[in-house]
Amino acid sequence: MTQGLHNLVAPAGARQAKKRLGRGRGSGLGKTSGRGHKGQKKTKSGNVRVGFEGGQLPLARRLPKVGFKNFDFKVSYAPINLGRLGERFPAGATVDPAALVAAGLINPKDQVKVLAAGELKHKLALKVHAISAAARQKLEALGGTVELLAKPAVKPTAKAAAGKAG
């Protein structure tokens, strides 16, 4: 038999016959068609949404809503290791968010935090939002400089502003 897309065959057991419901007692799925006796789900329209508890107050509404969630003011950093900066940028280069975006290391909306992983063999001038103490120590030991950029002011969303007003 020649190979080709025109004569592909499913392996044995890959295809199962459809359940034929309501075809008499001998089929094993006659009478109630595998749905059991009585109850909400015995009929076609008896399927209810996920989490529905038959009119009882659902679990998601019974549990207390506690805690503080800081979604509106969360600052997320794109971590960059010193080793990657050393590979991508030549000695004495100025590395700022625009250069990192151009190099494809971060997204334009991200703030940058430099971490100490990897080896840096030459000095760089960094202009970043945050840097770990170990990374700063490694960079300054090679004669590099670090300038911390001002973090952009976080504007609360309409939801957060409405929460403060009430």
pLDDT band at 25 (very low <50, low <70, confident <90, very high): very high
The confidence score (pLDDT) of residue 29 equals: 92
The confidence score (pLDDT) of residue 18 equals: 92
**CA gap 150, 166 in Å, rounded:** 31
pTM to 2 decimal places: 0.52
pLDDT band at 118 (very low <50, low <70, confident <90, very high): confident
CB 128 within 8 A of CB 113: yes
Pairing of strands 125-128, 94-95: parallel
**CA gap 146, 126 in Å, rounded:** 5
Helices (H) then strands (E): counts for the chain: 5, 6
Domain layout of the chain by residue ranges: 74-148
CATH architecture, domain 74-148: Ribosomal Protein L15; Chain: K; domain 2 (3.100)
pLDDT tens readout for residues 134-156: 989 988 888 888 888 887 666 66
